[in-house]
Chains A and B, each alone.
Chain A
């Protein structure tokens, strides 16, 4: 059975009533007038102390009885035929318990897995790796787009290194460009960026009579479970995957990756548990990256500044893999009648790409927004105004106003017009879009115990964004109990199913399941409380740690007293994540403003301040949300100014696979970051919470890059914006 309810969605100043059909037992979606005890207030992370004290157990911390240590031998050659792998000397080394070939008879990038061992200690494992004799027949290779795309380039596979272009087109771009009042064309280049998760990839694997148990650093425990079940031909219930805590993933930790499969293969071969956590250098070589891109952008606009054509021709390389497109922002940020994109993946002998925080978008946003700035200058239109003219999303329009005010765009611009001296400041603005209302699939269990404490079980995992806290807030809100009374149990495939934590899916996919489970649990508790209060269950509400009669709050009973009436040890209820209802808006808008200061004599750049404005759907917790924005902005600054996988084209090797040489943003590079959240009741689920992990990162790099070009008065179209590039640009200005 279901019912139709009308809910008021949107945000103060722009609301609208939407009627949705919801099944019985499903809570009514949170709407504009709803007032909360916990939702929308800052809640310190429920597991913060565990993390700060080291009590939180990461995969790295797992130690099992009889546990062995695994290590992987990787190809030192960017391209080679593997004629033979001789494991005999490694096997003979005392303390070595297993040695396996990984079975790649061709090495296609330096760092590709060739063989692996498990031994009594990691030192012995490293010694054994050195004893493996591999007969390589080195081959020609290419590790840059230019080299791989050149005629006569050595083929990474049997065919051409250039994949078929993927073309998408609407309208008539050529005609629109030809008749445009103003147009620009430029090429924007972005480097390969690696994920650099704080916790490296890896797993501890154990085979025993109950099957295969794996503790691993993953964004998707169920994705690993299902992959391992297929790989080892086991029923899924014989595979258990645990990830209590995860030190970041950024998209690089889905499924049964090579090091997870290898750990399990070694455990099977050795008949003992094996721990295989990767060393830091391997992270840069073989666990994924954001592909590079060369984007040639053509934009045309009419006299009023309205875009009439957007054209992107790009190529990028996912190394030995694909996925190097960047057209997303070109298609989705500024509506235009004529849009054409052409994307070509180029294979080359370098580590494969993997999804990375808004795949394709930071690089696309950089190309698009830099081009927008260049066109705005040709049109003599203020750059912010140019965005406003071309924005049709009312949420973003509001955000641009809020941001411009907080950033003092006009005043800053006037002040900067008068600046003198060799240190030059500049400002930039960039727009972000995403779609982050999650998906159905997750389930949750809510359990009330006799002592009054509540447990939420959900087989999700915390990629670091505060998932336990988010789930506990929702359950505590629904049950009207303090958050300290709620424990979130996650990170184990024995809990109800949930989806991988990627694509900004976690909070929007899991919180509705938890809310439904909590609502069902509350209804069960109401049935216990009803006779005590002499009222019908449907007349009760749960607030302030009591259950009370809605129209007569003086008739109440403590939540804990009700729990004492539980006949057994506990009662539980299930919740499921239903498909999305009609949303207030299907997309998610954001914008970011940046001010930078460039020392024009040394080319050294400092980001002074950033203002980030974001639609978060229902604001669940400003504290963790703010933390996500800080992370997204900093990662964007890092990509704008510092990060780049540097490949030696002659050697075919990455020359900076260390945290010393691979330059990451640090505390002294951190600007003042002001965050403005737009609490938009979305209505797409019973919570209307949006994921924000990606949207908060999309525009950060572009805003900084636009600001740098503004500061020095000449566009720099290639990242990272290092001193050499800035000085060269100034010289040619």
Chain B
């Protein structure tokens, strides 16, 4: 393993200044950062330990109903938090289905959003792929059963985060501290396609740190769901995941946000499918129609056409799942 030093910053601004330097990076839970160091994919000399930064911790329900998630909050805290489970259940469901209990006890919200792709070409020390500075994506013409069916090119990685689709479905934003000050960016705009830059998966600039995530209070009558399909039920990455937030008034859907995970280099929102649902009853038939629309632009690689079928099924199930909850909630209010 590469040798590196771990340094402790005084505060977030200090941490930001430190990781702005070359060959420095942040570490929190360390789940992915250490894996990449061990594999030699990264050879970072200095890791700046964010864990002591208390300001980046905590889960708070704000007076207006917004949810604040500190970037250092552990996945298991997200999974178990009563407010998140009640009002933002897609987010707790997503956290609960990630990895293993051991990893959920270490892995953080920020780390989950910023983890690097699981692509086996990216992680193999013997392949110098596009994302590592090479000139090609080996999944093209290679083994691509787990790769992107949307938004691929020139790299075909899929974004591995469980939380990202759920947070994007809720319209969450990230608070970012950097050398240039503080900025807030909608997560939907935060993730970047490889056509923009194949070397990164998001818009985080040198020295920037996500300090917290703000999830706006959902509309009245909103219900959410996160489901995923995995080959193995223990410790596996989703083949496809779907997060949906559905707002229903009476018997019709007033608003829907549907985001797929593990299908594209970024969390993949399907606005056309969302629009199809608006004003419609959340029936089996309408869910099917929306799901068909959700996958219409899929561009599978030779080995991953099956993911398109799974995506269609999961979108339909997510709509029906969230809508049945929403309908129940609507009846009660």
Contact = CB atoms under 8 A, between A and B. Distances in A.
Interface of A: 76, 110, 123, 126, 601-604, 606, 641-642, 646, 648, 650-651, 653, 655-656, 658, 660-661, 663-669, 722-724, 727-728
B232 A642 contact: yes
Interface string B295-310: 0000000011110011
Nearest to B240: A602
Given A126-B1, A724-B303, A727-B306, A648 B314 contact: no
A722 B231 contact: yes
A603 B306 contact: yes
B27 interface: no
Interface in B171-228: none
A667 B230 contact: no
B138 interface: yes
A723 B3 contact: no
Interface stretch (B11-19, B121-129, B274-282): B121-129
A666 B3 CA distance: 33
Contact of A666 (B235, B304, B309): B235
A650 B126 contact: no
B233 A666 contact: yes
Contacts of A727: 306, 309-310
A110 B126 contact: yes
B142 interface: yes
A663 B303 CA distance: 17
A661 B305 CA distance: 20
Contacts of A658: 123
The 8 closest A-B pairs by CB, nearest first: A666-B234, A668-B233, A724-B306, A668-B234, A655-B120, A601-B313, A602-B229, A727-B306
Contacts of A661: 118, 120, 123
Given A602-B310, A723-B306, A728-B306, A653 B127 contact: yes
A248 to B, nearest CB: 19
Contacts of A123: 1, 3
Contacts of B229: 602, 604, 723
B236 interface: yes
B1 A648 contact: no
B120 A663 contact: no
Nearest to B310: A602
Contacts of A642: 231-232
B145 interface: yes
A665 B124 contact: no
Contacts of A723: 229, 231, 239, 306, 310
B143 interface: yes
13 contacts: A601-B309, A601-B313, A602-B314, A648-B143, A653-B124, A653-B126, A655-B142, A661-B123, A666-B233, A723-B239, A723-B310, A724-B303, A724-B306
A704 to B, nearest CB: 14
Contacts of B232: 641-642, 663-666, 668-669
A661 B160 CA distance: 13
Interface string B126-147: 1100000000001001110100
Given A602-B313, A651-B142, A655-B120, A76 B231 contact: no
B160 to A, nearest CB: 11
A666 to B, nearest CB: 2
Nearest to A660: B118
Contacts of A724: 145, 303-306
Interface in B82-122: 118, 120-121
Q: Which of B123, B230, B231, B309 has the most chain A CB atoms closer than 10 A to its own CB? A: B231
Contacts of B306: 603, 723-724, 727-728
B278 to A, nearest CB: 25
A263 to B, nearest CB: 20
B234 A669 contact: yes
Contacts, number: 82
A602 to B, nearest CB: 5
B126 A606 contact: no
Contacts of A126: 1
A690 B121 CA distance: 46
Nearest to B317: A601
B124 A655 contact: yes
Nearest to B304: A724
Contacts of A646: 120, 143
Nearest to B142: A648
B6 to A, nearest CB: 16
A648 B123 CA distance: 14
Contacts of B314: 602
A642 B231 CA distance: 7
Contacts of A648: 138, 142-143
A180 to B, nearest CB: 37
A660 B236 CA distance: 8
Contacts of B124: 653, 655
A728 B229 CA distance: 17
Nearest to A724: B306
Nearest to A279: B38
Nearest to A664: B232
B287 to A, nearest CB: 13
A76 B40 CA distance: 15
Given A666-B232, A666-B235, A650 B1 contact: no
Nearest to A122: B1
Contacts of B126: 76, 110, 651, 653
B127 A669 contact: no
A586 B95 CA distance: 54
A457 B251 CA distance: 77
A603 B310 contact: yes
B12 to A, nearest CB: 31
Contacts of A666: 232-236
Given A76-B126, A666-B233, A669-B233, 6 more contacts: A651-B126, A661-B120, A663-B231, A663-B236, A723-B231, A727-B306
A683 B126 CA distance: 56
Contacts of A651: 126-127, 138, 142
A664 B310 CA distance: 22
Contacts of A603: 306, 309-310
Nearest to B237: A660
Nearest to A603: B306
Interface in B133-174: 138, 141-143, 145
B231 A604 contact: yes
Contacts of B121: 655
| Residue picked from A602, A604, A722, most chain B C-beta under 10 Å | A602
B120 A656 contact: yes
A724 B127 CA distance: 26
A471 to B, nearest CB: 34
B239 to A, nearest CB: 7
Nearest to B316: A601
Contact of B143 (A655, A660, A664, A668): A655
